[in-house]
Amino acid sequence: MIIFQWEAEQSTNDGDFNQMKARFWGVRGSIPTPGPETVKYGGNTTCIEVRLNDGRIIIIGAGSGIRALGNQLVVQDMKKGPLNVNLFISHTHWDHIMGFPFFTPIFIPGNKIKVHGPVNIGDESLEKIFALQMSYNYFPLRADELAADISYEILKEGSFQLFDDVQITTKILNHPIIDLGYKIEADGAVLVTIYDHEPFRNLFDSNPEDEDYDEVAKLEGEKAAQENNERVMQFMKSADLLIHDAQYTNKEYLSSKIGWGHSPIEYALYSCVKAGVKRLVLFHHEPTRTDSEFDIIQRALERRITRISNHHMEVFFAREGLEIDL
């Protein structure tokens, strides 16, 4: 059974941590969209705060949502001393790094911030890419003027121990740049992020009547797409909470968004059912999506989903301020 819990249960855990928890500070894709039509779900681009049971801080995404998170960290956490933050970047498209220059902890001496993220095709360092948006033409301060101790780590596909009791696994996804999904295993729970991601598809599909029809390429393309989708499926398999790209409806996707690197909501839903995910958060919302459109989509999904009866999964739309215990 699929339970649409559109208003996800708010965490009751206030400051006294027993388990990992996730809080959403930005849920929007592509560009911030403040305004009266995005009040309920929020207009900031992606940022997820992950708290371990002892208060250690992991942040996924440095979209515009990281600004408010940074301010809270300064006011609350820094009472106890300097911060030690691990920031994971899915990829370096602007909506996922734009908040970094406004993340107040980077200006405060003593704070330690480690930025983890994927390589790019030019082998440019993450440091250089981050510094670029803080160069003279774009920002009044340069990256080397930041007072915090900031370091950068390029990640490849695989697993590593972030701490003795925290394992991170990464998976390269399908997006118009090298993009990583993250799996965090800690406190006996598994949190997975899969955004910005579009299902792999056969780019060499064609009809035998086509002039450039190539059967070998078609078969090989089919196999490659299937195998890579299966790898993503395996990656999400053990998730207690999966945060999945759901930028479009299937109709929007098929009409004009194929190849843009984002998933239809229906795909996120069905693949998570198939992978046996326990809770699914639909994330990275289309910037033009208004609060009222979410209601329409919700009703349409509820009608369609009644066909799936043999799996218990909770599903809800991510919104700013939502906090979930794992």
- For another protein, the binding residues (CB under 8 A) are 118-119, 121-122, 156-158, 172, 174-178, 200-204, 206, 212, 214-217, 219-221, 223-225, 228, 259, 261
d(CA 70, CA 7) in angstroms, rounded, equals 26
Nearer of residues 65 and 199 to another protein, judged by Cβ: 199
d(CA 27, CA 42) in angstroms, rounded, equals 7
Min separation Cβ 138 and another protein, Å: 21
| Residue 270 identity (one-letter amino acid) | Y
Residues in a beta bridge with 118: 155
Min separation Cβ 129 and another protein, Å: 14
Q: Would strands 112-118 and 279-283 be described as parallel, antiparallel, or unpaired?
A: unpaired
Nearer of residues 223 and 312 to another protein, judged by Cβ: 223
Nearer of residues 123 and 145 to another protein, judged by Cβ: 123
Three-state DSSP class for 245? strand
Q: What is the DSSP letter of 28?
A: B
State the residue for tokens 């056969």: 202
Min separation Cβ 47 and another protein, Å: 24
Min separation Cβ 204 and another protein, Å: 6
Return the ∠ at Cα 7 (arms to 5 and 11), rounded to 5°.
100
State the residue for tokens 């928890």: 21
Min separation Cβ 186 and another protein, Å: 21
User: What is the edge-to-edge ordering of all strands in the sheet holding 313-317?
Assistant: 2-4, 313-317, 279-283, 241-245, 189-194, 180-186, 166-172, 158-163
Nearer of residues 21 and 93 to another protein, judged by Cβ: 93
Tokens coding 72: 């809270």
Q: Do 78 and 108 touch, CB atoms closer than 8 A?
A: yes
Min separation Cβ 56 and another protein, Å: 26
Nearer of residues 42 and 261 to another protein, judged by Cβ: 261
Q: What is the DSSP letter of 308?
A: -
Min separation Cβ 202 and another protein, Å: 7
Min separation Cβ 31 and another protein, Å: 18
Nearer of residues 224 and 300 to another protein, judged by Cβ: 224
State the residue for tokens 């207690």: 240
Nearer of residues 141 and 177 to another protein, judged by Cβ: 177
Q: Do 154 and 117 touch, CB atoms closer than 8 A?
A: yes
Nearer of residues 36 and 158 to another protein, judged by Cβ: 158
Tokens coding 45: 């681009």
Tokens coding 39: 């009040």
